[in-house]
Structure 1
Amino acid sequence: MQNVLRRNDVEKATGLPRSTIYEKMAKGEFPKPIKLSAKSVGWLESEIIAWQKARIQQRDRVPA
């Protein structure tokens, strides 16, 4: 079973505002949500964690 995060939780976890989340999703730079009902979506916590880890790895890369 995976945890599903609602938008407010995703904003808190990433530090990104709503507009940036949707902008990054449109560019393929952020996980896309899953549809929960006709009017609600959520993000898989595991995908948000993976996105965070990728940002940390990107930060820690040493230029060649």
Structure 2
Amino acid sequence: MPTTVIAAKTHAHAPRTQRRIYRLRHVMASTGFGRAWIYQLMADGKFPKAIRIGKRAVGWDGDLVDQWVADRLEGR
């Protein structure tokens, strides 16, 4: 019975992690905060700013939100 060998592609650089845009619902679920408190923290400069992603839509950089949550969990 012949053996089949499948060669894996190799890349010169490591694959880049996919960046995500979080909508408000995801940010609220990630932080446990409500809409008003998230916007208050943004106004106080204590939470990542939302970015415009459309005419009537905003989102947050997922990496920044995830780092903010991690910092809070580590007591920073």
Which TM-score band (shorter chain)? 0.7 to 0.9
Aligned to 1:31: 48
TM-score by length of 2: 0.72
CA RMSD between the two structures:
1.2
Which string of whole-angstrom CA distances, capped at 9 and with x for unpartnered residues, describes residues 11-32 of structure 1? Answer: 0111000000000000000000
Deviation at 1:38, TM superposition (A): 1.4
Structure of higher CA gyration radius: 2
% identical equivalent positions: 34
The count of residues paired between Structure 1 and Structure 2 equals 59
Q: After TM superposition, which residue ranges in structure 1, 4 or more long, deviate above 4 angstroms?
A: none
Higher relative contact order (CA 8 A, sep 6+): 1
List runs of 5+ in structure 2 lacking aligned partners.
Answer: 1-17
Greater share of residues in helix: 1
TM-score by length of 1: 0.85
